[in-house]
Amino acid sequence: MSKNNVRHGEGETRRRGDLEPERPESMFSFSKLSPRHRVTVSPRRVSSGLRVVTFAAFCLLAAGCGVRFDMQDQPRYKAYKESDFFADKRGSRNLPDGVVARGFLKDDKALHTGKIDNPNLNAQVQTTTDASGNTLVSSFPNDIDEFPVPVTKELVDRGQDRFNIYCIVCHGPVGNGDGMIVRRGFPQPPTYHDDRLRNAPVGHFFDVITNGWGKMNSYADKLSAADRWAVVAYIRALQVSQNPEETLKMNSSANTNSAAPAAHGSPNANTHGGER
Ligand code: HEC
């Protein structure tokens, strides 16, 4: 009995089945009680008690199966269970086309893709070739050139924070492409400070972070769209920090706020494991 009591939440059938072999043990457990609590119960009385419990359990089971239809008894498939109802035998169905989870409708295209509204997929792109023979894309006809979010100091600060977690390891503290992983042998990324990337629209940076670029992975699973824009704003600030003559290209379609340059970090800052 004692053993039986601790088994919460198991099916009635199993409980019934378990009772039989345990009969001798439950008899002995009575004698293990302290003398004050000890009661004399004959084996015959124990087993008849068990029979009553068994019978009650059986009644409950019968009631559960046949008579009551509570929500807890509703017909349903367990995940990945086979189904005879559907032609393809899969109980787990695909979502209907076009279904979007509540709160996940990415209807602001500029914010979520960094692309213009009607991209021309056949637009010719210019390319240049770098010293090591890599082909570098240098025109970005389908990328937006204005931030789709207000550019504030908070945005740039947030971008600095995320950049120093996710990007500094390869791109280095100011974006020269001399991060610690690169010094240990990873292919060197291009500097952010040549004409090509200084003139690249903000949508291109967003695209690189979102979808990856060549040897670089996507960071879309680590940075929300808002955080990706924050990192792009910080890259712009880094660009100005290295080219003080440059005008700050922080135009935003969301409002006209411009953030002050917020570049920090010296080229050697990450020899100490980053700034933060
Ligand atoms: C593991 C190393 C690594 C990390 C981390 C990394 N990158 Fe890169 N990144 C690269 C490499 C390598 C390239 C060059 C890829 C190529 O051209 O094949 C690159 C290229 C780029 C480019 C230039 C694309 C172009 O047009 O040539 C940008 C912009 C960029 N990364 C931004 C970022 C940002 C922002 C982050 C952080 C969210 C980041 N990267 C994190 C390695 C990295």
Rounded to the nearest integer, the mean pLDDT of the chain is 78
Mean pLDDT of 170-186: 96
Residues 25 and 147 in one domain: no
**Which protein residues are within 6 Å of ligand 1, measured from CB?**
136-137, 166-167, 169-171, 181, 186-187, 189-190, 205, 208-209, 213-216, 219, 231
Residues 14 and 137 in one domain: no
Please report the pLDDT score of residue 84 as a whole number: 92
Mean pLDDT of 166-172: 98
- Examine the pLDDT at 150 and tell me if it is beyond 60: yes
> Taking each helix axis from N to C terminus, what angle separates 43-62 and 12-19, rounded to the nearest 10 degrees?
160
- Examine the pLDDT at 164 and tell me if it is beyond 70: yes
Domain count, the chain: 2
CATH at residue 209: 1.10.760.10
Characterize the bridge pairing of strands 127-129 and 135-137.
antiparallel
User: What φ, ψ does residue 137 adopt, rounded to 5°?
Assistant: -75, 130
pLDDT in tens, 106-123: 889 999 999 999 888 888
CA distance 231 to 241: 15
Cα-based angle 219, 222, 223 (whole degrees, multiple of 5): 80
Residues 26 and 163 in one domain: no
**Dist. CA 170 → ligand 1 center (Å):** 7
Q: CA of 87: how far to CAs of 75, 90, 202, in Å?
A: 19, 8, 49
What is the domain range of residue 136?
Answer: 113-272
Give nearest CA residue, ligand 1 atom 29. Answer: 205
Q: Which of 170, 223, 236, 238 to mutate to test the pocket of ligand 1 (most atoms within 8 A of CB)?
A: 170
Write down which residue in 73, 97, 130 finishes a domain: 73
Please report the pLDDT score of residue 103 as a whole number: 85
Mean pLDDT of 78-100: 91
Residues 164 and 268 in one domain: yes
Residues 170 and 258 in one domain: yes
Give nearest CA residue, ligand 1 atom 22. Answer: 208
Residues 117 and 176 in one domain: yes
Atom of ligand 1 lying closest to residue 215 CA: 18
Give nearest CA residue, ligand 1 atom 14. Answer: 189
- pLDDT-based confidence at 4, cuts 50/70/90? very low
- Examine the pLDDT at 20 and tell me if it is beyond 60: no
Start-end of H helices in the chain = 2-5, 12-19, 23-31, 43-62, 109-113, 153-166, 168-171, 180-183, 195-198, 202-211, 225-242
- pLDDT-based confidence at 73, cuts 50/70/90? confident
Please report the pLDDT score of residue 42 as a whole number: 54
| Nearest residue to 216 (alpha-carbon basis) of 159, 265, 166, 176 | 166
CA distance 229 to 225: 6
Residues 266 and 133 in one domain: yes
- pLDDT-based confidence at 143, cuts 50/70/90? very high
More confident residue, 266 or 65: 65
Please report the pLDDT score of residue 56 as a whole number: 74
Give nearest CA residue, ligand 1 atom 37. Answer: 167
Atom of ligand 1 lying closest to residue 222 CA: 38
